[in-house]
Amino acid sequence: MIIVIDILRTQPGGAPGRRFERFRVEARPDERLLDVLIDIQRRIDPTLVFRKSCGHGVCGSDAMVINGRERLACKTLVRDVAIDGGPAVSVEPLRNLEVLRDLAVGQEPFFKRYRTVKPYLIAADAGAEGRERLQTPKERAAFDDATNCILCAACFSACPVVADVNPRFLGPAAIVQASRFLEDSRDRGSEDRLALLDQPDGVWPCENRFECTRVCPRGIKVTKLINLTKRRVTDFKAVKTEKG
């Protein structure tokens, strides 16, 4: 089939003139949208810029806004977003991050937030060296959903709070990463992490708008994990006050 695709182009170095450019290409319904972009880049316009790597939805390189919604281009089939002779498919870079060129955004503010939550196991290493720690299947399952995160930044892009309310909000992905360790029975870093999350730009700006959950290409229940984390912070403060 022939599809029409409008790509929001941005020149490097912040040159003015962001504009949609229209491409008309032959594509199969079962092709990935990523294949279509590669075809355009390699055959039609070599200056088109986007990131790609694994090509099957596990590396997180090619999150972008397709028909107004954050998706991975490699996990989006042509038939999911286009119909033969139908309206143009629009492709834009992620929101809430600076555009470097075309569909490539600067990721540093996103990963800086990720690093803020101490996204690593904090555990006393006493005893039983040379053996694994024990963890029941139930304890392991408690944080499974969060381990699915590939840090593609789709949720951060879709977050209306970051866009309209508090641009310094920690954002959904960083909270999911915090949750991944808060809910891990092996971790002993809760105190540090919960104090960080309790900051004004931490977990509290979330308004339960559910956009993160809607767009997550890994199907993570992001909003649910954010609310769970809010409860952990509240409980932690209550215990501290009691002890206090």
**Considering only residues 54, 165, 238, 239, which one is a binding residue for other proteins as defined by CB under 8 A?**
54
Regarding 147 and contact with other proteins (CB under 8 A), the answer is yes
Candidates 40-48, 158-166, 167-175, 226-234 — which segment interacts with other proteins by CB under 8 A? 40-48
Nearer to other proteins, 218 or 230 (CB): 218
Candidates 1-9, 47-55, 164-172, 196-204 — which segment interacts with other proteins by CB under 8 A? 47-55
C-beta neighbour count of 129 within 10 angstroms: 6
Q: Smallest distance, Å, CB 244 to other proteins?
A: 30
Regarding 126 and contact with other proteins (CB under 8 A), the answer is no
Regarding 77 and contact with other proteins (CB under 8 A), the answer is yes
Nearer to other proteins, 68 or 128 (CB): 128
Candidates 18-26, 86-94, 132-140, 155-163 — which segment interacts with other proteins by CB under 8 A? 132-140
Residues forming contacts to other proteins in the complex (CB under 8 A) are 12-13, 30, 32, 41-43, 46-61, 75, 77, 100-102, 104, 106-107, 111, 115, 118-121, 123, 125, 130-137, 139-140, 143-144, 147-148, 150-151, 181, 184, 186-187
